[in-house]
Structures are given as structure tokens and as C-alpha cells.
Chain A
Amino acid sequence: MFPTPVQKAAPWVRHAYTIILPIALILWLLPLIGVAITSVRPSTDLAAGNYFGIPSRFAGIDNYTAVFRDSPIGWYILNSFKVTIPTVIGAVGLACLSGFALAVYRFRANLLIFFLFVAGNFIPFQILMVPVRDMTLRAGLYDSIAGLVLFHIAFQTGFCTLFMRNFITSLPFALIESARVEGVSEWRIFRYIVLPLMRPAIAALSVLVFTFIWNDYFWATVLVQGQHAMPVTAGLYSLNGQWIAAWHLVSAGSIVAAMPPVLMFFLMQKHFIAGLTLGATKG
């Protein structure tokens, strides 16, 4: 193990480590802690200049109720779910199919198509912006959830295919070979042999894509204009314009908007990290 475990080090090193660790964490999360405290601070504190001290009283319930009551943030959150969940299902579903194709079959264009997916997934969004916006407008899907979902599914398919293909490649190929020898059809091989083995990859990808899409801001501003389809990222930004200097509300709104992916992360931590670090270990 590297670095040397502190258990083997001198006692003072061990003690220093246990003291430094929480201090480092607090410093690291200081901006976040500040926002969390501000979100439960009464507005009178801010007016009186009490920005850093202990809140004069706990106003968390007031602030969070105010955010939900006086702003459409609840609606924005609902929109975010309406965009995110179909995208996760669509992109992961398509990637199961295309990843299987690229992992299992040998054909001439295989690597070319694979690298097209990989490269497409690295490009700057701006190169797609004008045509995609134009296409969405002409299809009558501008300013709608469906327009956003379709784009996200298509774009995420690149990353998801890369992920699935690498995952299936690491499965034992002999399993597929022997099924073929027995005359099992290709679809049944996919459906009954490979797909059940893909469960961990599907879980990992779903959590990742959920976070990516939930946190998307750029496409939410390009493809959506009105409140009715606006996801919470773009919504929070527009609310920020209305809540000038009402930092207790901005903070509460930020925490609300950040919550779903954070919960997702803590509940599915193992899958999330497995997904994110795929390829970080294989040489």
C-alpha cells in the first residue's frame, strides 16, 4: 500500500493524521458549508450583517417553504425528472444493443464505428448547437421536454456505448461461443445470456447518466425557453436573477436543486464510482 499506512508510522504521525483529516475536510467543503448555513439563516440576519456567525435562530423551515411556495422550483424539479428518467432509460437501452454489437462481432467497420462513438462524445457542445436547435425548432419540439430528451439520449449513447462495449468485452466470450454452437439465435444470446450479466454495468451507467443529465445546463438553455419545460439548473439560474441579494433563498434553492443527484450518489455510491473509474485501472 502506498503511502505507508499511518498505523505503521510513529504515534505522533498517527495522531496528527486523525486531527488533520477533519480539518482538511471542513476546509474543502467550506463553500458548501457556508451555503448550507446560509440556507437556514433568517433574512434579518443578512440585513443585520450577520453573514458568518451562528444564525440568530433556525429559519430553515421558513426559507425552504418560501422557496417552494413563492417560486416554481417544485415544477422545475419535476421537469428535471421528466427529462432525466426517459434519457437514462433510452440511452442505456440503446447502448446495451450497440455495445453488444461492437463487443461481440468482428466486422470490418467495428473499430471505426466504435471510435466514432468515442470521438463524438468528446466534442464541444457548441459545434452541435446551431444545427440541433434548428432541427428541434423545425420538428416542433423546441421548448419541450421531448426535444431535450431526444437530444440527450442521442448524445449520451456515445459515452454509454463506449462503456458497455468495454464491459461486455471483459465478459467470458466462451459463453457466447458455446451458445452459438448449440444453435441459439443471436437475439436470444443477447437477451438471455449477455443482458443478465450486464446488470452491474447498467446500474453504474444509469447513476452516472442520471447525474450528467440532471446537472445539464447548456442544453436546457439552448432548447428550452419557457417555464413549462425548464429543468431545475436553468430554473435556478433564472430564479437567481429574481432573488437578488436574497442569499438565504438562493442558498436554499441551490441545496434543493443539488439534492437528487447527491442522494443518488450516496445511495448508489459503489455503482457510481465503478462507472466513473472504468478504465482507470486496466492497463
Chain B
Amino acid sequence: MGSTVSARSGFWKRNQQRLAPWLFLAPGMIMFAIYVIIPIFQSIWISFYDWDGLGPKTWIGLGNYVELLDDEAFYTSLKNNILWLVLYLLAVPAGLAVALFLNQTVTGIRLYKSLFFFPFVISQVVVGLIFTWFYAPDFGLLSALIKTLTGQSIAILADERYVTLGIIAAGLWPQIAYCMILYLTGLNNINPEQVEAARMDGARGWSLLWNIILPQLGPATFIAIVVTVIGALRSFDLVSIMTDGGPYGSSRVLSFYMYEQALSEYGYRMGYGAAIAVVLFMIMMVFITLFIVRMLMRERHA
């Protein structure tokens, strides 16, 4: 007995270093594998089937993807996603501008910074409702403003031309706040000696910002771009809250269209939904790969 115990503890002593990381990792890894890693492959697998979520699955190969090629609504969603991506990135320079505006040391500036950051803390559902009200024809604050300025009344969320722009503007509000806080932290950590030295050399305003400040803000810019790209491709909440994809499906994005196809009242098309999700995933993979490569390079550097 005694010898087995000591043998076992001897084994543990010898291999503790090698086994410990796996024991520490196991709970988190198992959960993450079950709920995140494996479902990705399952989704890809399901996208080759025709399936209503309950009955038997029917293998249709690339059928769902072929159908996508001819689906007008898919192209509308894709186009809107690209619009989201491009316009959402405005949050990065806008966030920098707000951060530069607020990077002062006057009394009460801390409170100002917190209040400017405020929109990010609020749920997108609430942001969506706030902006629906803001845009509402007749009595919305913005509509009233437009009416006094131009004499025309525009129902932004009911107009196919403006609806996506209106939703993106609502999304930019918290996103600018997020980028702002990243840049404020970045500005806080800038090397003051370098800035002073550049000032001695006569650098001012734009050239100082461009040549000295921005390079030091590199990490903040990187993270701001990462979170903004992810945010743009994940845009679901606002579309669902503000328009439910309408009018006539013109404000759909891929994430919303996928949800609609897979779980709508008109019948569950899990396979088709999964195919849309795979397309969205592939788009995201391009960015994820870029991020990871950059992180890996930094990791190697360190």
C-alpha cells in the first residue's frame, strides 16, 4: 500500500509540470469546445442539408449555396453589411477626434469623459429604442429638426433610401464612445518627452499628430479597428429592434437575414440559415486571420 502511494505521488512529482497546465485548462477548454468550437463545424455541416430543425435532414450538397446566388435578399444583406463595415469604421477617426477634444485637464473633465462614454454602457436594445424615437416622423427630435430646416418631413426608418444609414448612425453613437475611451487611454500613455522634443523642433498641430502622436497610438488604433469591424459584422440587435429588417427587407444584414431564415414564423430553414452564417463566418475569418497574424507577430517580438 505504502509503496503504491509513494509511487503515485512520485509520478505526480515528476510530471506535475507537464500535467498541471492541462488540468488548469480542462474546464474552460471543454466548455469552449462544446459551445463554440464544435458548433462551428456543425454549422458548416448543416449548411449542406435541407432541415427544418425537427424532422430528418436531407443532404442537398451545395444546394443552399446555389440558392443563395440567386437570392435577391441575400445580396441586399451583403450590400448592407459592406455599407455597415465601411461607415462603421468612421467611429475610429471620430473617436480619436472626441478623445483629442476631451484630452484636457480642466475642472470636471473626468465627469465629461464618463458622460461622453455613456452610450457604450447602454444596451443596444435601448439605443435602438432611443433612436427609433429620435427618428420618429412627426414627433421625433431629428425629424422635427429636419422639418424646420428643409420643410420636408422624412420618415427615416420607413424610407428604403435612408433606413440603413439611420441604423448605422445609431450604431455609431456607442461605437464612437468605445473608440474614444481607447484613444483617451492611449493618449494618457504617450511619452511626454518625445512630444516636447518634437515641439522644440517646431512640430505643430497636424504634423505633430501625424508624425509623433499617431504612431504611439498604434495599439489603440489596432484595437479600435478590431472591435469596430467585429461590431459592424455582428450588427443584429439594432436592425431587429429598429426595423425588423424592413421596410420590405431593405435594412437586412447577413446576421439578421440568417436569423430570419432559420427561425422565422414562415418555417424553419436551418440549412439555409446555416449557409448564410457560413458566408458571414468566412468574411469574418479574413479579418480574424489578419488580427491573429498581427498578434502572433507581436507575441514573437516579445
Write the residues of chain A forming the contact surface with B, with a CB cutoff of 8 angstroms: 1-3, 5-7, 17-18, 21, 24-25, 28-32, 34-35, 38, 46, 49, 51-52, 94-95, 97-98, 100-102, 104-105, 107, 110-111, 113, 115-120, 122-132, 134-135, 150-151, 153-155, 157-158, 161, 185-187, 190, 211, 214-215, 217-218, 221-222, 233-234, 236-237, 240, 247, 250-251, 254, 257-258, 261-262, 264-266, 269, 273, 276-277, 279-283
Looking at chain B's contact residues, the main secondary structure is helix
| Contact in complex: B270, A2 (CB < 8 Å) | no
* Contact A123 B284, CB 8 Å, known A2-B195, A3-B103, A25-B112: yes
* A279 B101 Cβ-Cβ under 8 A: no
- Distance of A83 from chain B, by nearest CB (Å): 13
Cα distance A157–B281 when bound, in Å? 20
Most buried by B among A49, A107, A126, A221: A126
B292 touches which one: A3, A7, A118, A154 (CB < 8 A)?
A: A118
A283: chain B residues at CB < 8 Å are 218-219
Question: Min CB distance, B125 to chain A, in Å?
Answer: 5
For residue B43, which residues in chain A have a CB less than 8 angstroms away from its CB? 127-131
Contact bitstring B266-302, A, C-beta under 8 A = 1, else 0: 0000100110111011001001100110011001000
Task: Give the distance in Å from the alpha carbon of A243 to the alpha carbon of B190 in the complex.
Answer: 50
User: Is the beta-carbon distance between B101 and A24 smaller than 8 angstroms?
Assistant: yes
Partner of B28, one of A46, A157, A258, A279: A157
**Does B11 sit within 8 A of A, measured CB to CB?**
no
User: Is B186 a contact of A130 with CB atoms below 8 Å?
Assistant: no
Among B29, B116, B126, B280, residue most surrounded by chain A Cβ atoms (within 10 Å): B126
Could you list some 6 contacts between A and B, CB below 8 A? A1-B192, A32-B118, A34-B134, A126-B259, A131-B39, A233-B125
**CB-contact partner of B220 in A24, A129, A158, A280, under 8 A:** A280
Of chain B, the residue at the smallest CB distance from A164 is B28
A215 neighbours in B (Cβ, 8 Å): 122-125
- Chain B residues with CB below 8 A from A32, complex form: 118-119, 122, 130
For the complex, give the distance between the alpha carbons of A258 and B237 in Å: 15
Additional pairs, 9, CB under 8 Å, beyond known A5-B104, A111-B299, A157-B31: A1-B195, A2-B209, A2-B213, A24-B101, A129-B258, A150-B31, A155-B32, A273-B185, A282-B219
Q: Let me know if A257 and B123 touch, CB within 8 A.
A: yes
B173 / chain A contacts, CB cutoff of 8 Å: 31
In the complex with contacts A105-B20, A157-B31, A31-B103 CB distance below 8 A: no
Residues of A near B292 (CB, < 8 A) are: 115, 118-119
Q: Is B158 an interface residue (CB 8 A)?
A: no
Chain A residues contacting B79 (CB-CB under 8 Å) are none
Contact A262–B20 (Cβ < 8 Å): no
Contacts A29-B118, A123-B40, A124-B233; is A280 near B16 (CB within 8 Å)?
A: no
State the main secondary structure of chain A at its contact with B: helix
Q: Closest residue to B234 on the A side, CB-wise?
A: A124
B contact residues around A51 at 8 Å (CB): 139, 141, 144
Q: For A233, what are the chain B residues with a Cβ–Cβ distance below 8 Å?
A: 123, 125
